[in-house]
């Protein structure tokens, strides 16, 4: 797995987490490979944190 895959997986996992945990939950559609359709609020700081963690080699 290369760095791009690691960052992509981290972003997708965080978007899915936010779609399940936030209130009101954003609607996240990841059905089309390589694209995300998002309707609602996304916590950018949380997204940045998971990307930084992926770049640093964290979980």
Q: Quick: pLDDT tens for 11-31.
A: 999 999 999 986 788 899 999
Q: State percent of the chain over pLDDT 70.
A: 93
* Domain regions of the chain by residue span: 3-56
Q: Where do the H-state alpha helices sit in the chain?
A: 3-21, 44-56
- Supply the mean pLDDT for the chain: 89
Q: Do 30 and 12 touch, CB atoms closer than 8 A?
A: yes
Predicted pLDDT at 25: 84
Residue 58: the pLDDT is: 61
pLDDT of 59 above 70: no
Q: Is-cis flag, bond preceding 24, omega within 30?
A: yes
Kindly state the average pLDDT of the residues 41-55. Answer: 93
Q: What pLDDT, on the 0 to 100 scale, is given for residue 43?
A: 92
Sign of CA dihedral 58, 3, 27, 49: positive
């Amino acid at each position: 797995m290369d760095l791009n895959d690691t960052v992509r997986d981290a972003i997708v996992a965080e978007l899915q987490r936010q779609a399940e945990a936030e209130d009101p939950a954003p609607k996240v559609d990841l059905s089309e490979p390589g694209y995300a359709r998002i309707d609602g609020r996304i916590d950018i700081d949380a997204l940045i944190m998971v990307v930084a963690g992926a770049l640093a080699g964290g979980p």
